[in-house]
């Protein structure tokens, strides 16, 4: 009798990155990617994407609306390493260079149905005065003010643990939060 191979289950994610609120910024776009465990594999759809640039709405909320679609299917043999959506939001600085305005991540919902998630966003900041000065002077020479950014937004997942407090660029909101992006995911 032949041994049966491992059985798999499918996870289908269909939804959108709906909007964001970054009161001090305008003309932003977002990128998304999925991070998942070793046993997971995408079978259909796109694992990453980039939205259009959007401007603030003219109403009181001043929301940045993307309505950016997400549609991907994963397969796995166990739930360890459940997929997470990682969002990074970018926009122009005073010199017109694209800089990071926020990173955030959320697990794909575990239960089927309609789900709406609000994702706290943060921006890493240089940890020493020397790093701040070096970052500022090199950015000034290249005509751009830059906050430190990650080579890959997925590496920011390790900084999203609740026990970690991150310094942020700008107005200094505590606990690594800056702005809020709402992602609507249907699973």
- Convert the pLDDT of each residue in 133-143 to its tens digit: 776 666 555 54
Closest CA to 100 of 159, 150, 46: 150
pLDDT tens-digit profile of 64-91? 999 999 999 999 999 999 999 999 999 9
pLDDT, tens digit, for every residue of 146-186? 455 555 666 555 544 433 333 333 322 222 333 444 444 44
First to last CA, the chain: 38
How is 122-165 classified by DSSP, letter by letter? B-B--SSHHHHHHHHHHHHHTT-------SSGGGGGGGGSTT--
Do 132 and 126 touch, CB atoms closer than 8 A? yes
Q: What pTM, to 2 d.p., does this model score?
A: 0.74
């Amino acid at each position: 009798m032949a041994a049966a191979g491992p059985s798999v289950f499918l996870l289908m994610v269909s939804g959108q990155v709906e909007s964001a609120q970054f009161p001090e910024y305008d003309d932003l776009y977002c990128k998304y990617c999925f991070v998942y465990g070793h046993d997971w594999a995408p079978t259909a759809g796109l694992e990453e994407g980039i939205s259009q640039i959007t401007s603030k709405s003219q109403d009181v909320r001043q929301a940045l609306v993307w309505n950016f679609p997400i549609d991907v299917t994963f397969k796995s043999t166990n739930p360890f390493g459940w997929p997470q959506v990682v969002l990074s939001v970018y926009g122009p600085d005073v010199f017109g260079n694209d800089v990071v305005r926020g990173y955030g991540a959320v697990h794909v919902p575990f239960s089927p149905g309609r789900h709406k998630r609000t994702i706290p966003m943060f921006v890493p900041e240089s940890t020493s005065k020397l790093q701040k000065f070096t970052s500022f002077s090199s950015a000034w020479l290249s005509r751009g003010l830059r906050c430190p950014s990650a080579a890959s937004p997925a590496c920011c997942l390790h900084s999203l643990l609740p026990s970690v407090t991150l310094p942020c660029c700008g107005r200094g909101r505590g606990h690594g939060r800056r702005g809020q992006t709402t992602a609507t995911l249907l699973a």
